[in-house]
C-alpha cells in the first residue's frame, strides 16, 4: 500500500505517493527525475548515491523513502547557487578532480557537509569526510586537492 | 534500472507502547527498522523478506541520551554519528567513541544506530566490545514485559541473541565509570573505512589512584569468537598489580591464548591470535594513560 510523504528537495516541497519498499534513491531518480544522484553498489559501500538529509550526508540507497518523510534533502542539483557553480564544483572542474564523474556528486555532497560545519578543514579531515565515497579513477589526490582549494578560498 | 526491494507493509508507530503492540499483533514475519543499514542490505540481497517492517525512527524516547545520574542511558535509535559527536562520550567513554568512529563510513554512521549494531550480533561489530567492556546492559521491551539483560549474556552466536521475536531493544545502560578509570578500543582492518574487523579489542581499567595498582579490568575481544568475548584469564593477570609494559605483554599473550579465532579470507587464525596480543597491549596502555589523567574524584 502506498504512503504519502512530504519531503523538501533542494528547497522545493513535494508531496509524493511512494511504495514502502522504494528507497530514497529510487524516488529521487525516478519520481523526481534528479539523475545526478547515482546508483552504484546499492548496499552502502560506494557512496555514489550520497545525498544530504537534514544537512548530513547519507547513502540514499540505504534509506526508505518513507523514512525521509518530513526531512530536507539536498542532491547535487541543489548545490549550485544563484551566482553559479558552488565553489566546490568550480574547484573540482579546475583541479581535474573529475574523470568518469560517477563518484563526483557524492564526493561534492560529502565535502559540502564537511565545509558547512568546518570551513577550514585540513587534509586529514577531508580524507575522513570522503572515506565513504569510492573513486575508481583519480586515486583521490586531485579530489582532496580540490576540496582543500575550496576550503582555503571560499569566502 | 534499480533492483527493487521485496514488498512489505510499513508501520510507523509514534510510541513504544504502540510499537510493542504492533510487534505482538503481527507476529511471525515482522522486522523493526531503525537506521536500516543492515536490514535494507539484507532485503536487497533477499536474505530476509519480512511481510511487515516496523519503523522505530519516530519514537522520541528511543533517540535520547541521558548522562545525568550514576548511569548513562543511550536510546537504541541514537545514531552512531551522534555517539561519535557526543561530548559526554568523548570525556567519559573513550572506547565507545573509538568504536563509533571505526564503524562503517561517515555516510553509514549518520544512519546506523547503536541498537542496530547490537541486535544484528555480528562477531566483528564495533560497538559490542566497548559496551561489554563497560559492563553495559540492554533493556528489552515487549507488550508483556520489560527486562534488563547484561550485554555479556545478550549474544548467543553470529546473528543470534537472547531476544524474543516480539521484543524491541530500547536502550543501552552503562554505569558511569569510577574515578581513575580509562578505556580504549582498537580495530584492525586492512583499510580505515568501510571495513569489517580482522580483530578488535576493547579494554577498560580502573586504578586505585593515579599511578596506583589496577583495581579492576575488563578486556573484550571482537572477531575472534562467535560472540564478543571477555578475556577473563588476561584480566586476572592484571588485578592488584602495578601497571607496566611487561605486565601488559603478559596480559596480551594470555588473551591471545584464550581467543578462539578462525581462518577466513580476512586473516588466518594464527595472525588473529598474534594481533589479539598486540591490540590487548595497546588498548591497555591507552586505557592506563587515560586512567592516570582522569580528573574525576
Question: Please, which residues bridge with residue A13 across strands?
Answer: A8
- Identify all chain A residues contacting B8, using CB atoms and an 8 Å cutoff: 20-21
pLDDT for B1: 45
- The answer as to whether B101 is a domain residue is yes
Number of CB pairs < 8 Å for A and B?
96
What is the rounded average pLDDT for all residues in chain B?
95
CA atoms within 13 A on the CB side of B188: 22
Q: Which domain holds residue B93?
A: 60-175
Compute the average pLDDT of residues B89-97: 95
| A5 part of contact set with chain B, CB < 8 Å | no
Check whether B67 has a pLDDT greater than 90: no
Tell me: do A67 and A105 sit in the same domain: no
Looking at the structure, do residues A100 and A49 belong to the same domain, yes or no? no
Which residue in chain A has the smallest CA separation from B57? A67
Encode pLDDT of B207-247 as tens digits: 999 999 999 999 999 999 999 999 999 999 999 999 999 99
**pLDDT > 90 fraction of chain B, expressed in percent and rounded:** 94
What cell does A51 get? 545525498
Which of A28, A45, A78 represents a domain boundary (last residue)?
A78
C-alpha distances out from residue A97 to A90, A111, A118, B172, Å = 10, 13, 21, 43
Residue B2 — pLDDT band, cuts 50, 70, 90? low
The ipTM estimated for the assembled molecules is 0.97
pLDDT reported for residue B42: 96
Asked if residue B233 and residue B263 are part of one domain, the reply reads: yes
A133 touching B (Cβ < 8 Å) = yes
Which of B30, B47, B106 would best serve as a mutation to test chain A binding (most A beta carbons within 10 A)?
Answer: B106
Q: Are B107 and A29 within 8 A, CB to CB? A: no
Q: Which of B175, B195, B230 is the last residue of a domain?
A: B175
User: Tell me, what CATH number does B100's domain have?
Assistant: 3.30.465.10
CATH code at B188?
3.30.390.50
- Is 50 exceeded by the pLDDT of residue B297? no
Mark whether A127 and A149 lie in a shared domain: yes
* B76, B34 contact by CB (below 8 A): yes
Q: pTM for this structure?
A: 0.96
Instruction: List, for residues B3-26, the tens digit of each pLDDT value.
Output: 789 999 999 999 999 999 999 999
Amino acid at each position: 500500500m502506498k504512503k504519502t510523504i512530504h519531503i523538501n528537495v533542494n528547497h522545493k516541497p513535494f508531496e509524493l505517493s511512494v511504495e514502502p519498499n522504494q528507497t530514497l534513491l529510487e524516488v529521487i531518480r525516478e519520481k523526481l527525475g534528479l539523475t545526478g544522484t547515482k546508483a552504484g553498489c546499492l548496499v552502502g559501500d560506494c557512496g555514489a548515491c550520497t545525498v544530504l538529509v537534514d544537512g548530513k550526508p547519507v547513502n540514499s540507497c540505504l534509506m526508505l523513502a518513507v523514512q525521509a518523510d518530513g526531512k530536507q534533502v539536498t542532491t547535487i542539483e541543489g548545490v549550485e547557487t544563484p551566482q553559479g557553480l558552488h565553489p566546490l564544483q568550480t574547484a573540482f572542474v579546475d583541479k581535474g578532480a573529475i574523470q568518469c564523474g560517477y563518484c563526483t556528486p557524492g564526493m561534492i555532497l560529502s565535502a559540502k557537509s564537511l565545509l558547512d560545519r568546518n570551513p577550514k578543514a585540513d587534509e586529514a579531515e577531508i580524507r575522513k569526510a570522503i572515506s565513504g565515497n569510492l573513486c575508481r579513477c583519480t586515486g583521490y589526490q586531485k579530489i582532496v586537492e580540490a576540496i582543500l582549494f575550496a576550503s582555503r578560498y571560499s569566502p | 534500472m534499480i533492483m527493487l526491494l521485496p514488498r512489505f507493509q510499513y508501520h510507523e508507530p509514534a510510541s513504544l507502547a504502540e510499537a510493542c503492540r504492533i510487534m505482538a499483533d503481527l507476529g511471525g514475519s515482522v522486522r523493526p527498522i531503525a537506521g536500516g543499514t543492515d536490514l535494507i542490505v539484507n532485503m536487497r540481497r533477499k536474505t530476509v523478506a519480512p511481510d511487515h517492517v516496523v519503523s522505530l525512527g519516530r519514537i522520541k524516547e528511543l533517540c535520547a541520551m541521558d548522562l545525568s545520574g550514576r548511569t548513562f542511558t543511550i536510546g537504541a535509535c541514537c545514531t552512531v554519528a551522534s555517539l561519535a559527536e557526543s561530548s559526554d562520550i568523548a570525556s567519559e567513554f573513550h572506547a565507545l567513541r573509538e568504536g563509533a568512529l571505526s564503524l562503517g563510513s561517515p555516510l553509514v554512521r549518520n544512519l546506523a544506530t547503536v541498537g542496530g549494531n547490537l541486535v544484528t550480533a555480528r562477531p566483528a561489530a564495533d560497538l559490542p566490545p566497548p559496551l561489554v567492556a563497560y559492563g553495559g546492559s540492554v533493556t528489552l521491551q515487549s507488550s508483556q514485559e520489560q527486562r534488563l539483560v547484561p550485554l555479556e549474556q545478550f549474544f548467543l552466536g553470529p546473528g543470534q541473541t537472547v531476544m524474543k521475536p516480539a521484543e524491541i531493544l530500547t536502550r543501552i545502560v552503562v554505569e558511569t565509570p569510577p574515578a581513575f578509570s580509562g578505556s580504549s578500543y582498537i580495530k584492525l582492518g586492512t583499510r580505515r573505512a568501510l571495513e569489517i574487523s580482522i580483530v578488535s579489542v576493547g579494554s577498560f581499567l580502573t586504578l586505585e589512584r593515579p599511578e596506583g595498582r589496577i583495581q579492576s579490568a575488563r578486556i573484550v575481544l571482537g572477531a575472534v569468537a562467535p560472540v564478543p568475548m571477555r578475556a577473563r584469564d588476561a584480566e586476572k593477570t592484571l588485578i592488584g598489580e602495578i601497571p607496566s609494559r611487561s605486565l601488559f605483554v603478559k596480559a596480551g599473550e594470555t588473551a591471545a591464548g584464550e581467543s578462539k579465532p578462525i581462518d577466513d579470507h580476512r586473516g588466518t587464525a594464527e595472525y588473529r591470535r598474534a594481533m589479539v596480543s598486540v591490540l590487548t597491549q595497546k588498548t591497555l596502555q591507552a586505557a592506563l594513560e587515560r586512567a592516570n589523567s582522569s580528573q574525576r574524584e
